[in-house]
Structure 1
Amino acid sequence: MEVERVQAIASLSAAANDIPAEFVRPEHEQPGFTTYRGPAPEIPVVDLAGEADRGALATRVAAAAREWGIFQVVNHGIPAEVVRELQRVGKAFFELPPEEKEKYASKPGSTEGYGTKLQKDLEGKKAWVDFLFHNIWPPATINYAFWPKIPPEYRKANEEYRKYLGILVKKILIMLSKGLGLEDHVLMQSVGGQNLEYLLKINYYPPCPRPDLALGVVSHTDMSAITILVPNDVPGLQVFKDDQWFDVKHIPNAIIVHIGDQIEILSNGFYKSVLHRTTVNKEKARMSWPVFCSPPPEMEIGPLPQLVSDETPTKYKTKMYKDYAYCKLNKLPQ
């Protein structure tokens, strides 16, 4: 059965200056009603090169992870040209003819591939986004059948980005460990060490005639350990805090770090998995490149024993990551 992609629907909708009913969110989700319009607090920005005291830097990262569950990092060590090339080849893929993109269409039972809808919406609504998923680490998880062959530089750009990304992820997990009063290696080891899996998603949000009514991605927390996100310059990420939806300010060359469910569980709730969503733009396509850094499927995740006591009893069950993911994707009780 042929799947209708949002990119194609957007072209028809632009001419009609309207969107199909299945993309109109319920009023309590519509950005036009629910986005905070007053002076908004800005999510924390951490300069990884601007603090000589590593302990003070870890304290800042930990505070951001505890209070917000999200922060932006600058001077993160990933060269600007590496990020630009990642963005260029991803954008080039979504500019290909439909028949070329469909060669990478996701298969039933697989998270990888080109697609339009990931989860079932209980109200039958759809999100205004197309996407491409594929694993980029470790080597044993990579299936190059889902890596576009056009443009020809696609593989090199993604492999180069992954190399620098691995260094950044390790730095962040070390700082989060320090923030819990643990040894540097504890969190990294607890989410899989060198077997931590990196799943890249490219989100493509076409221009939308009614951005006040639609969402690119509905509100959710990431089931990863952490998510590292590169946006383009079109705003759209929103964070829920203090019972309000706030826009995340775009900072050129910054990378956004989300705390995911697995770090919240391991920290026994000390760190918070961020509730977020994505809005869309009337004039421009928004794109983002999140990498979900998640434990291997068979790894057991639960509150770290060092963080559990009579005063801080365990708040979460211990289970294999694959079981957690299955329950979350299928909206089952955890």
Structure 2
Amino acid sequence: MVAERDHDTSSPSLPSLSKQLAGTTLGGSADVPVVDLSVSDEEFLVREVVKASEEWGVFQVVNHGIPKELMQQLQVAGKQFFDLPDTEKEAVAKEGGFEGYKRDYLEGINNWDEHLFHRLSPPSVINYKYWPKNPPQYREVTEEYTKHIKRLTEKILGWLSVGLGLSRVALTQNIGDDTAEYALRINFYPPTKHSELTIGAAAHSDMGAIALLVPNEVPGLQAFKDEQWFDLNYINSAVVVILGDQLMRITNGRFKNVFHRAKSDRERVRISWPIFVAPRDDMSIGPLPELTGDDNPPKFETLLYKDYIDKKIKGWALEGLHSLLKTPKTI
């Protein structure tokens, strides 16, 4: 099961609510890593993605092999969907589950939430009921883009596996290989005059394994590191790679599950297209035996992925209740 977005309250690196709501604090001159995948030296690529995963938990990749024209088509189709009248968007509205279209404003933390979410792979989990029929090119473009994202995901997981001293397919296999679930969430953030107070997406880590995201040209994505928020610079046609909870747990904490958030813009619409990759819900996930030992005992409990999701959502609910009791509704 792929979950949409959540808030990990179990990690000591979780920023406090006050830091989540504070204005952007940039981390000096440090930049989120950018890795050029056109480099022919594979050892160099392994070193770069491993270093970024250990130090940041997020990085951008350029020259990744996904056609620029296809990425543009994906973004055009997504924007056209959100430009539709509400009645047409409601044709793929959620019906109690997590797939479909939703529009909501969440109080407590000023958080605007409008998105479309649906599974992409494997074929057995796809429900085209939640795929828009308008714009008409949506399905064709999304399916073609998914093929490229799956290849890129396997490459990145392969380099990370090699960097851990494992076989190239180790991480891919440990999140389910061909049964791993891919899901797309298109986030729509309208402009707001109070962008310094309105968080498009509150600080969270992704509960799955890894996410690959493309944004439009409007900046807003931020990563939390060393008690500071860092802006991710917009790079045309780059893909943002975000490590989630399960890669942290599989690697016994060697790789970071980065906390990140999205800020709204005062004047422009911001849209992002993250694809989440997660194990199926009946898979057991925990530290790999090859990465633990007497000098590095397991730091995390091995759990069925569905049980992990339940525990995390309960923790999120408790944190939300605590925040409502301890903090004012306006900032």
TM-score normalised by length of structure 2: 0.88
Tell whether the 8 Å contact from 1:85 to 1:157 is kept in structure 2 after alignment.
yes
How many Å apart are 1:54 and its aligned residue? 1.0
Q: What residue number does 1:86 align with?
A: 74
* More moved, 175-184 vs 126-135: 126-135
Q: CA deviation at 1:116?
A: 3.0
Q: Which residue of 2 aligns with 1:306?
A: 290
Shift of 1:289: 0.3
**Per-residue Cα deviation, 1:67-111 (whole angstroms, up to 9, x for no partner):** 000000001110001111111111000000001111111111x11
In the alignment, is residue 218 of structure 1 matched against residue 198 of structure 2? no
Give the alignment of 1:149-160 within 5 angstroms.
149-160=133-144
2:98 corresponds to 1:111: yes
User: Which of these residues, 34, 46, 52, is aligned with residue 64 of structure 1?
Assistant: 52
Cα deviation, residue 66, structure 1: 0.3
AA aligned opposite 2:23: T
The answer as to 2:183 corresponding to 1:192 is: no
Equivalenced residues, count: 301
Aligned counterpart in structure 1 of residue 20 of structure 2, from 5, 29, 51: 29
Cα deviation, residue 302, structure 1: 0.4
| Structure 1 unaligned regions, length at least 5 | 1-25
Deviation at 1:256, TM superposition (A): 0.2
8 Å CA contact retained: 2:184, 2:273: yes
Mapped pair 1:42 → 2:31: yes
The more displaced of 123-132 and 97-106 is: 123-132
SS at match of 1:129: strand
TM-score (norm 1): 0.87
What residue identity is the alignment partner of 1:180?
L
Is 2:26–2:231's contact at 8 Å kept on the other side of the alignment? no
Amino acid across the alignment from 2:251:
S
Q: Retained in 1: the 8 A contact 2:23–2:196?
A: no
Give the distance between the partners of 1:41 and 1:274, measured in 2 at CA: 16
Question: Partner amino acid for 2:182?
Answer: Y
1:245 aligns with 2:225: no
Relative distance call for 1:28 and 1:309 in structure 2 (3 A) is closer
Query: In 2, are the aligned partners of 1:74 and 1:254 still within 8 Å (CA)?
Result: yes
1:195-222 deviations in whole A, cap 9, x for unaligned?
A: 1100100000000110011100000000
Q: 1:41: Cα distance to partner?
A: 1.1
Instruction: Identify the residue that residue 192 of structure 2 maps to in structure 1.
Output: 208
Please report how far the alpha carbon of residue 35 of structure 1 lies from its aligned counterpart in structure 2 after TM superposition: 1.1
Deviation at 1:36, TM superposition (A): 1.5
1:263 and 2:247 aligned: yes
State the AA in 1 paired with 2:100.
G
Partner of 2:121: 137
- Helix, strand or coil: the match of 2:51? helix
Say if 1:28 and 1:244 are closer, same or farther in 2 by CA, change over 3 A. Answer: closer
2:111 alignment partner, SS class: coil
2:249–2:286: 8 Å Cα contact kept in structure 1? yes
Match of 1:175 among 133, 138, 159: 159
In 2, the alpha carbon distance for the partners of 1:126 and 1:195 equals: 37
The CA deviation at 1:177 is 0.3
Match of 1:292 in 2: 276
Q: Which amino acid aligns with 2:231?
A: D
Q: Secondary structure at the match of 1:116?
A: strand
Give the letter aligned to residue 128 of structure 1.
W
Matches of 2:160 and 2:275, distance apart in 1: 18
State the alpha-carbon separation in 2 of the partners of residues 62 and 96 from structure 1: 42
Contact 1:34 1:245 (8 Å CA) reproduced: no
The ranges of structure 1 where at least 4 consecutive aligned residues each deviate by more than 2 angstroms after the TM superposition are: 26-30, 37-40, 123-126, 329-333
1:34 and 1:244 in contact (8 A); partners too: no
Provide Cα deviations, 1:110-162, integer angstroms capped at 9, x if missing partner.
110111359xx7x7445123000000110001000000000110000100100
Residue 128 of structure 1 aligns to a residue whose secondary structure is: strand
Identity of matched residues, %: 47
Determine the structure 2 residue equivalent to 1:14.
Answer: none
Query: Kindly tell me: are residues 124 and 81 of structure 1, through their superposed partners in 2, closer, same or farther at Cα, counting changes over 3 Å?
Result: same
- Using the alignment, how far apart are the partners of 1:181 and 1:309 within structure 2? 15
Q: Which residue of 2 aligns with 1:235?
A: 219
- Aligned-pair CA distance for 1:258: 0.3
For 2:260 and 2:59, how far apart are their aligned partners in 1?
12
Q: Aligned Cα RMSD in Å?
A: 1.6
Contact 1:264 1:271 in 2 (8 A): yes
Q: Is the Cα contact below 8 Å between 2:104 and 2:112 reproduced in 1?
A: no
The DSSP-based 3-state class of the residue aligned with 1:168 is helix
| Structure 1 counterpart SS, 2:165 | coil
